[in-house]
Amino acid sequence: MIRLKNLSLTPDEALLPLKDAAARALKLKPQDIVTARLSKKSVDARDKSDVRLVVTVDVEPKRKPVFMPKNAEIAPEETPWTESVCAAPPAQPPVVVGLGPAGLFAALTLCKRGLKPVVLERGKPVDERKRDVNEFFRTGALNTESNVLFGEGGAGAFSDGKLNTGTKDARLRHVLRTLYEFGAPEEILYEAKPHVGTDRLSLAVKNIRNEIERLGGDVRFETALTGLIVEDGRVVGARTDKGDVPCCGVVLAPGHSARDVFEMLKSAGVYMEKKPFSMGARVEHSQKWLDRAQYGRFCTHPALGRADYKLNVKAPSGRGVYTFCMCPGGQVIASASEEGGVVTNGMSEFLRDKPNCNSAVLVDVRPEDFGSDDVLSGVYFQRKWERAAYELAGGGYRAPSQLVGDFLQGVKSLSAGSVPPSYLPGVSWTDLGLCLPEFVSRDMKYALAQFDRRVHGFAAADAVLTGVETRSSSPVRIVRDGQSLQSSLRGLYPAGEGAGYAGGISSAAVDGIRAAEAFCWD
């Protein structure tokens, strides 16, 4: 197999069979190519007059080519990720807390090692959760007992399903391959910015959960972890609101919004530390505007898909400001997990066919901003501003919104412009600065002007800001040993974003696998 790296194609060329491009590069005829498969694809739109798709293609020719270009190499063999099976399973099962990406992949890994974990998920199965979320969007009624806006698959089950990550861990390919095998689109195996989509992600989550159960795992929905049973400094059981579960240890992957779990760990004396995070608001634009801004005259070309962006700047204060979780053709969604608070997030379905695009504009928040030495002071800081947003919007889980032009001038907005806000159950027009820390508002204003220089129209007067976004990452880290991956309490393996060791779906899934591999019951 020959790998042709970084082939530059025009949008029209990208619509032709890959065999054509591979044949040109190898100076062969298309009929001399047996197979040509995408290994990587990205868009180079730096020159709007000459937008290109840059692809890497794995090619199987009928015979060895006479000509080998400089960008050709022998494609490496892909080695499947395999798990060693435990020779002597423990008397009690392991417990996995949470069915977000870390918990899901930790449970699957334990099953493949021959163990039969008990998986505790406080939410409902994803199909029921979808119905509850739709009802919330219709009525604004938040069922806090079942944590209605989160659930199987964590917040990621209702997010854009973006899988791009900075991690170079070899397990990442296994994560992508697994998601594809269980229902995610094939594109995630080669796109430079892999994207599943909310609709396809929830299907993959459900299918992986079914596989866990087929392999002997016991998944218990609407079952919340309330405590840990400890003997001689080691976890030997999990307390839940449905009774105690004896176990040989716990992989703890609760997600970054499991505030009751953080409180329980603090009371149990588990060592944690404060951690920086970011906060701000969602900004919405017309997707048609963004396609034109990024692709120029190619903006409607079917080979390109929906345009996106990733922007960052350092404010004069020294704080970083950046766009996060950019959702082309998506919508702003409600993600509250507590009564009396408003939290925003973003999502897109696989087709990314909604009229608006959105992303978070976030400012660094540091532990010294929390105003307390309490290890959970970051949680309390988040809660303060979430409740301020709820009150500012007038209750009912409406969200406070403001036009970008008004935000920059510091005046209250009265109505929408050309970009209708997508947040449900609805928005209240106001001054968003009243539910953001002063330093966040200040640095967001600076960044919006800077981003407008890079993507003209980003700070358009009638673009919409909806807040608040506070849950970009966990405000605490459950400290663990670098070798055993155990916390200060033996037998407790913190994992994923909520534990403070990941920053997205892919990295959380990888961390869940690592925790399961490190799991030991001796």
pLDDT tens-digit map of 254-290: 988 899 999 999 999 999 999 999 999 999 999 999 9
The answer to whether 115 touches 87, Cβ cutoff 8 Å, is: no
Helix 171-181, helix 505-518: angle, nearest 10? 110
Per-residue pLDDT of 430-447, as tens digits, reads 999 999 999 999 999 999
Please report, for the chain, the start and end positions of each structural domain, with discontinuous segments joined by +.
Answer: 2-74, 95-273+474-518, 277-469
Please return the burial class of 102, using the count of CB atoms within 10 Å of its CB with bins 0-12, 13-18 and 19+: buried
Question: Which contacts qualify for 259-262: CB closer than 8 Å, 24 or more apart?
Answer: 259/337, 259/338, 259/376, 259/379, 259/383, 260/224, 260/226, 261/97, 261/225, 261/498, 262/376, 262/379, 262/476
Q: What is the mean pLDDT of residues 243-259?
A: 95
Q: What is the pLDDT of residue 157?
A: 47
pLDDT for 84 equals: 78
Higher pLDDT, 90 or 313: 313
The residue ranking higher by pLDDT, 328 or 145, is 328
pTM for this entry: 0.93
**Contact predicate 225/239, CB 8 Å:** yes
Q: How many CB atoms lie within 10 A of CB 266?
A: 16
Alpha-carbon distance of 455 to 293, in angstroms, equals 7
Q: What would the pLDDT profile of 106-135 be if each residue is shown by its tens digit?
A: 999 999 999 999 999 998 887 776 666 666
pLDDT digits (tens, 9 = 90+) for 41-97: 999 999 999 999 999 999 999 998 889 999 999 988 888 888 778 778 899 999 999
Give the pLDDT mean for 231-242.
97
- As a whole-number percent, the residues of the chain with pLDDT over 70 amount to 93
Dihedral angle at the C-alpha atoms of 366, 368, 371, 375, nearest 10 degrees? Answer: 80
DSSP state of 12: H
| In contact, 171 and 81? CB cutoff 8 Å | yes
Rounded CA gap, 451 and 306, in Å?
Answer: 19
Q: Which residue has the tokens 């979430």?
A: 386
| Sign of the CA dihedral with 166 first, then 171, 175, and 176 last | positive
CATH number of the 95-273+474-518 domain? 3.50.50.60
User: What is the Cα–Cα distance from 40 to 99, expressed in whole angstroms?
Assistant: 30
User: Residues 181-200: what's their mean pLDDT?
Assistant: 93
Question: What pLDDT score does 132 carry?
Answer: 62
**103 in Cβ contact with 96 (< 8 Å):** yes
Q: What is the pLDDT of residue 144?
A: 44
Least confident window among 159-168, 221-230, 318-327, 494-503? 159-168
* Nearest partner of 476 among 338, 355, 382, judged by Cα: 382
Q: In this model, does residue 372 exceed pLDDT 90?
A: yes
Q: Could you tell me which CATH number the domain at 2-74 has?
A: 3.30.70.2700
Burial 284-301 (b: 16+ CB within 10 A, else e): bbbbebbbbbbbeebbeb
Phi/psi region, residue 396 (left: phi>0; alpha: psi -120 to 50; beta: rest), is: left
Instruction: With both helix axes pointing from N to C terminus, report the angle between 171-181 and 101-112 in degrees, rounded to the nearest 10.
Output: 90
pLDDT above 50 (res 204): yes
- HSE at residue 241, side-chain half, CA atoms within 13 A, is 14
Per-residue pLDDT at 167:
80
- Tell me: the pLDDT tens digits for 10-35? 999 999 999 999 999 999 999 999 99
